[in-house]
Structure 1
Amino acid sequence: MILCGHRGVASLAPENTLAGLEKAHQLGLEWVEIDVQLTKDEKVVVIHDEKVNRCTNGKGKVRKYDWEQLARLDAGGWFGAEFAGQHVPRLRDYLARARELGIRVNIELKIYDKDNPARLCRKVSKLIDKHGFDKAGLLFSSFEPDCLRYLQVLQPEIPRALLVEHIPDDWQTRLEQLDCAALHCNYRYLSREQAEAVKAAGYRLHCYTANHPDKVKDFPAWGVDMIFTDKPQDYQQASPAEG
Structure 2
Amino acid sequence: MILCGHRGVASLAPENTLAGLRKAAELGLSWVEIDVQLTKDEKVVVIHDEKVNRCSDGKGKLRKYAWDELRKLDAGSWFDPAFAQERIPKLKDYLALARELGIRVNVELKVYDKDDAGRLCRKVSKLIDKHGVDKDSLLFSSFDPDCLRYLQVLQPEVPRGLLVEHIPDDWQQQLEQLECAALHCNYRYLSREQAEAVKAAGYRLHCYTANTPDKVKDFPAWGVDMLFTDKPQDYLDAGWSAG
Q: Same fold (TM over 0.5)?
A: yes
Aligned to 2:165: 165
Structure 1 segment 40-51 matched on structure 2, within 5 A: 40-51=40-51
1:152 aligns with 2:152: yes
Q: Which amino acid aligns with 1:231?
A: K
Deviation at 1:242, TM superposition (A): 4.2
Divergent runs of 4+, >6 A: none
Q: Which amino acid aligns with 1:141?
A: S
TM-score (norm: length of structure 2): 0.99
Aligned to 2:237: 237
1:143 aligns with 2:143: yes
Equivalent residues of 2:29, 2:242 under 8 A apart: no
Deviation at 1:21, TM superposition (A): 0.2
Report how many aligned residue pairs link the two structures.
Answer: 243
Q: Which amino acid aligns with 2:236?
A: Q
Aligned to 1:91: 91
Which runs of no fewer than 5 residues in structure 2 stay unpaired? none
Aligned to 1:177: 177
1:205 aligns with 2:205: yes
TM-score (norm: length of structure 1): 0.99
Q: Which amino acid aligns with 1:130?
A: K
Which runs of no fewer than 5 residues in structure 1 stay unpaired? none
Measured in 2, the distance between the counterparts of 1:162 and 1:2 equals: 18
Deviations 1:31-75 (A, max 9, x none): 000000000000000000000000000000000000010000000
Q: Which amino acid aligns with 1:225?
A: D
Measured in 1, the distance between the counterparts of 2:8 and 2:121 equals: 22
Deviations 1:126-177 (A, max 9, x none): 0000000100000000000000000000000000000000000000000000
Measured in 2, the distance between the counterparts of 1:127 and 1:45 equals: 11
Measured in 2, the distance between the counterparts of 1:20 and 1:68 equals: 22
Aligned to 1:118: 118
Deviations 1:74-107 (A, max 9, x none): 0000000100010000000000000000000000
Equivalent residues of 2:236, 2:242 under 8 A apart: no
Measured in 2, the distance between the counterparts of 1:127 and 1:29 equals: 25
Aligned to 2:76: 76
Aligned to 1:65: 65
Report the 3-state secondary structure (helix = DSSP H, G, I; strand = E; otherwise coil) of the residue aligned with 1:8: coil
Measured in 2, the distance between the counterparts of 1:198 and 1:161 equals: 13
